[in-house]
């Protein structure tokens, strides 16, 4: 891992752990999955921690995911794909992402490795496969690369990997495959971490925009966007869990459905706030929120909690929680 990446992660770690470290911080992801009181604590005391949390969460879940990726890469490397990719017929990828051979006679081809195992099927006519073609773990059809590995199947459209309206060079592709398969675990982990972080950050902003309006409707409270962004950063823990699970099990849920799960947390907390405010009144409701936030932090002394409350009261501003 490069010096810049290490410095970047060290900075975020120091920011996240700038207060005295406690085991309770390791439980934040778990609390984010089930505790309404914890979300009150987030809104009250966790100012500026949203993106930091997402980065650290991405780094954590990237570790088991990277082992899975490394295992798959090792499997494909054992099939001698570097030499086989170089044998793929020269082709052209049009602007619609459709692959076709330069020579029509090469539209169907089975490539075998040195052990005589069928490894790649070049099938730009999208023929029904049988025999050895059906045993090959990789199929190149008209629009995508179909990979069968470790009991899972994944389709990757060409236009997500290569430049459209251009020639497909087998030699260049073989060199890219060799680089990818030669990557060390640290490189894989860094790439997977960035990928997770990008997805979770985008989804946090998306759900925060929707969540702010949802909170206003359900709670009858004007939650600041910075607070909603922080709330949704932690609520996206459930999305991170599903992103990790997809590496190990075939999930029946689409990403669009999973991406909206954080809004369930927004709705539940907003409805609880509205009910409590109508029951207690505005002044007592504010006290209730502070008590709920402190209740979610079991390992802290009364003095520590009071100091945190004073610190928060002295730092109200953009991004803080002001019911």
Residues 212 and 305 in one domain: yes
108 found inside a domain:
yes
Same domain as 148, residue 98: yes
97 in the same domain as 62: no
The parent domain of residue 124 ranges over 91-168
Partner residues linked to 139 by β-bridges: 121, 146
Q: Are 257 and 149 part of one and the same domain?
A: no
pLDDT at 46: 79
Same domain, 305 and 217: yes
pLDDT digits 0-9 by tens, 214-231:
988 888 888 889 989 999
* Residue 311: band (very low, low, confident or very high) from pLDDT cuts 50, 70, 90: very low
- The answer to whether position 260 is within a domain reads yes
Residues 257 and 244: their CA atoms lie apart, in Å, by: 16
Residue 215 belongs to some domain of the structure: yes
pLDDT at 6 over 70: no
Tell me: do 232 and 308 sit in the same domain.
yes
Tokens representing 283 are 């002044």
According to DSSP, the β-strands at 99-101 and 108-112 are unpaired
Residues 162 and 204 in one domain: no
Number of structural domains, the chain? 2
321: in domain: no
**Within this chain, do residues 306 and 202 fall inside the same structural domain, yes or no?**
yes
| Rounded CA separation 231/204 (Å) | 9
Domain boundary among 168, 194, 215: 168
Is residue 102 in a domain? yes
Better-predicted residue by pLDDT, 173 or 207: 207
User: 18-32, 42-56, 239-253: lowest mean pLDDT where?
Assistant: 18-32
Residue 82 lies inside a defined structural domain of this protein: no
At 15 the pLDDT is 53
Name, in order, each residue with C-beta under 8 angstroms of 322's C-beta and a sequence gap of 6 or more: 224, 227, 316
d(CA 2, CA 12): 16
Same structural domain for residues 10 and 55? yes
Phi-psi sector, 322: left (phi>0), alpha (psi -120 to 50), beta: beta
Give the residue-averaged pLDDT of 126-152.
83
- What is the tens place of the pLDDT at every residue in 35-77? 888 888 888 877 888 889 999 999 999 999 999 888 877 777 7
Give the whole-angstrom CA distance, residue 242 versus residue 232: 16
Other CB atoms within 10 Å distance of the CB of residue 33? 14
Task: Compare 56 and 322 and report the one with higher pLDDT.
Answer: 56
pLDDT of residue 193: 94
Token representation of residue 46: 């966790």
Query: Model confidence over 79-127: pLDDT tens digits?
Result: 777 778 778 888 888 888 888 888 888 889 888 988 888 888 999 888 8
User: Within a domain: residue 160?
Assistant: yes
Assess whether 15 and 112 both reside in one domain: no
Q: Are the C-beta atoms of residues 65 and 247 closer than 8 Å to each other? A: yes
**80 assigned to some structural domain:** no
Rounded to whole angstroms, how far apart are CA atoms 38 and 271? 16
């Amino acid at each position: 891992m490069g010096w810049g990446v290490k410095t970047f992660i060290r900075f975020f770690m120091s920011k996240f752990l700038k207060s005295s470290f406690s085991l309770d911080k390791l439980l934040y992801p778990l609390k984010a999955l089930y505790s309404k009181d914890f979300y009150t604590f987030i809104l009250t005391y966790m100012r500026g921690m949203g993106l930091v949390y997402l980065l650290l969460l991405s780094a954590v879940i990237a570790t088991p995911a990277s082992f899975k990726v490394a295992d798959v890469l090792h499997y494909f490397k054992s099939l001698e794909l570097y030499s086989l990719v170089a044998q793929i017929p020269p082709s052209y990828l049009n602007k619609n992402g459709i692959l076709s051979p330069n020579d029509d006679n090469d539209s169907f081809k089975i490539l075998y490795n040195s052990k005589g195992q069928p490894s790649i099927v070049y099938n730009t006519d999208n023929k029904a496969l049988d025999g050895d073609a059906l045993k090959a773990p990789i199929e190149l059809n008209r629009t995508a690369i179909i990979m069968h590995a470790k009991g899972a199947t994944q389709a990757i459209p060409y236009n997500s990997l290569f430049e459209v309206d251009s020639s497909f060079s087998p030699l260049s592709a073989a060199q890219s495959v060799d680089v990818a398969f030669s990557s060390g675990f640290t490189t894989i982990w860094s790439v997977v971490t960035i990928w997770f972080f990008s997805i979770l950050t985008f989804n946090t902003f998306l759900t925060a925009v929707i969540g702010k309006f949802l909170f206003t409707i359900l709670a009858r409270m004007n939650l600041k966007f910075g607070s909603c962004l922080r709330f949704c950063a932690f609520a996206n823990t459930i999305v991170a869990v599903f992103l990790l699970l997809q590496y190990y099990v075939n999930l029946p849920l689409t990403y669009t459905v999973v991406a909206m799960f954080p809004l369930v947390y927004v709705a539940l907390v907003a409805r609880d706030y509205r009910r409590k405010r109508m029951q207690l009144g505005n002044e007592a409701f504010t006290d209730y929120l502070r008590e709920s936030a402190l209740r979610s932090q079991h390992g802290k002394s009364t003095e520590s909690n009071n100091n945190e409350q004073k610190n928060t009261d002295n730092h109200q501003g953009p991004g803080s929680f002001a019911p």
